[in-house]
Amino acid sequence: MALERTLILIKPDAMQRGLAGEILARFERRGLRMVGLRLLKVDRDMARQHYGEHEGKPFFNGLVKYITSSPIIAGVLEGTNAVAAARQIMGATRPTEAAPGTIRADFGLEVGRNLVHGSDSTASARREIAIFFAGERLPTWKRDVDPWVFE
């Protein structure tokens, strides 16, 4: 049971539809703790850095245009196996293939408008957190007390 951090992004379609609170609540109900949360408007440079692995692919420019189209919420979640847990809560990338009860199955229809992003590995999480929370000192939850306490 590894304590991990992961990045989530509540994307423009979720923000425009007023689903941010519901999405954050699902992660919290699962037991993941928020250690960072920002409302921001992603600029082109940040978007290109975030989606850098897709540069040169036919859908790259669409990704950049979409993520910069309205404010988003960037969050850092912490918990046991946080990367896998967050991805399970989100569901498959294609909403029509996502398991019932997941965010994408419950609220999404299109792969290009799938409401939420989550890091796909701990290495990706470290890289992505550095992009969206550069220079910020994120707190840690102490697990040796009940209830958990911020350090």
- Cis peptide preceding 12, ω within 30 of 0: no
Name the amino acid, one letter, at 102. Answer: T
In the chain, the percentage of residues whose pLDDT exceeds 90 is: 81
Indicate the fold that domain 3-42+72-150 takes in CATH. Alpha-Beta Plaits (3.30.70)
Distance in angstroms (rounded) separating the CA atoms of residues 49 and 51: 6
pLDDT > 80? residue 2: no
pTM: 0.91
Tell me what pLDDT residue 24 has.
98
pLDDT confidence tier of residue 1, bands split at 50, 70 and 90: low
Among all residues, which ones are annotated catalytic?
117
| Residue 127 per-residue DSSP state | H
